[in-house]
Chains A and B, each alone.
Chain A
Amino acid sequence: MRPRFAAPVLLGILMLALWEGAVRAAAIPPYILPGPLTIAETLVADWSTLLASLLVTLRITLEALAAAVVVGGLLAVLFSLSRWLELSLFPYAVILQVTPIVAIAPLIIVWANDVELSLLICAWLVAFFPILSNTILGLRSVDPNLLSLFELYGAGRWRTLVHLRLPGALPYFLGGLRISGGLALIGAVVAEFVAGTGGNASGLAWRILESSYQLKIPRMFAALVLISATGIAIFLLLTLLSHLLLRHWHESTLEIER
């Protein structure tokens, strides 16, 4: 195994072993700190409940990410076509971005009048800005000489966008997407904490709240493990997507021979 994978995996196993050893040696009760083995047992035992919640959180995350891609990408393209539109709207996008989501989530929950929709809006609000600002940067970072060439051969705005600006912005967009993937998950979880609603269609955040009320700390950890695993999976998938799309031409995919 290459050190790139071996090193973090070995470190992880070592830390888990230390954790388990410490919990056993000091006889810490599971409602204070459960050991990794207890958490794993809980994960298996409560799998059906946890899986249902995981799917809810995952669905909201992916829907929010998709909405962020569509809205962030479209706004970026519109801004690149119209300077006036950008000057008028961009400051409001910044305001949305800098306002803490926990502060406006209660309002959104009141207005949306539907828990799942409000969670979706919250997650989308957190996720769309990196895509928007990165894509705008990419659409602008065009080689001025290539622009001259397009002008020389009579390409209008539309063909310059399709053949020059959009492909050039792709690496920037994908960079934004990787940030937004993680943020969408965080947004979905945070919003559910604020909403604090239970029931059948509740996500992992509700499972954590519920476990803390009932002092089922191992279950809380199990839900936490699932959230982390989801975040890591989203990041890896988006990294793979980025690599597949850019492998032929972008500097970020170059492997330097030593």
Chain B
Amino acid sequence: MPFISVRDVSKVFANGVQALAAVSLEVERSEFLSVLGPSGCGKSTLLRLIAGLSEPTAGAIERPGSRADIGFVFQEPTLMPWATALANVALPLRLRGMAKSEREQRAASALEQVGLVGFEHSWPRELSGGMKMRVSIARALVVEPMLLLMDEPFAALDEITRHRLNADLLELWQRNNVTVVFVTHSVFESVFLSQRVTVMTSRPGRVGSELAIAALYPRSDAFRTSTEYVGYCRQASALLAAAMAE
């Protein structure tokens, strides 16, 4: 029994644009899956459908738990500029009606998990791009999600910060036993992070080929320069090129 199953899902927007055509996808419990594809191939639409933020035009999506068990991380940090880091992280709990002291305690421990001890009372504009993204990840983790949906979260960051956050994300994934669906347009990122890479084609978005990344965890920075890594990157690039040529 897969954890999430997406069966023959199509999505046509009100303006007539078909974003997804008969997409089928299965995600196992505790899996780290990357969805790799060019910009505008409907990857974000697929995430929104899985989250239940939008309804498929055809097909069905099955996933356990409610929407409250999902952590969602966007491409931008998407923080409320008028709230401190702590208040931003505590937001999902606040909307759930949790008492102030408890939600702040949990938010503080989520900030600790992403390495931001001491920044609880900082305002978003005082934080760097990487730190804002960490706050955003802490906000997704604070609900103790069963499922973490990430929509190109590190695309806007510099490479040094991105590599650091990649490593930290893997550590969080292993520690929290959470299922991750990670959307990216970076071949290197998808190979470094995931157990499995699904390649999507564009206009309309379809799920094409798949690649299992059998490399062991924990994956350190040394993995990035290994021949194993380079080999997987080559394979994933070929799949992506083939998907885009279709």
Contact = CB atoms under 8 A, between A and B. Distances in A.
Contact of B82 (A154, A249, A254): A249
Contacts, number: 59
Interface residues of A, number: 22
A145 B53 CA distance: 11
Which of A152, A159, A168, A250 has the most CB atoms of chain B within a 10 A radius of its CB? Answer: A152
Contact of B72 (A148, A168, A170, A251): A148
Contacts of B74: 145, 148
B68 to A, nearest CB: 6
A146 B68 contact: no
Contact of B78 (A145, A151, A154): A145
A142 to B, nearest CB: 10
A145 B76 contact: yes
B119 to A, nearest CB: 14
B229 interface: no
B220 to A, nearest CB: 32
Interface in A215-243: none
A251 B126 CA distance: 11
A154 B67 contact: yes
A248 interface: yes
Nearest to B76: A145
A153 B78 contact: no
A249 B72 contact: no
Contacts of B82: 167-168, 170, 248-250
Contacts of B51: 152
B124 A249 contact: yes
A149 B68 contact: no
16 contacts: A143-B78, A148-B53, A149-B78, A152-B51, A152-B70, A152-B72, A153-B68, A153-B91, A153-B92, A153-B143, A155-B95, A163-B91, A164-B80, A167-B83, A170-B82, A249-B124
Interface of A: 143, 145-146, 148-155, 159, 163-164, 167-168, 170, 248-251, 254
Interface of B: 48, 51-53, 67-68, 70, 72, 74, 76, 78, 80-83, 91-92, 94-96, 123-125, 143
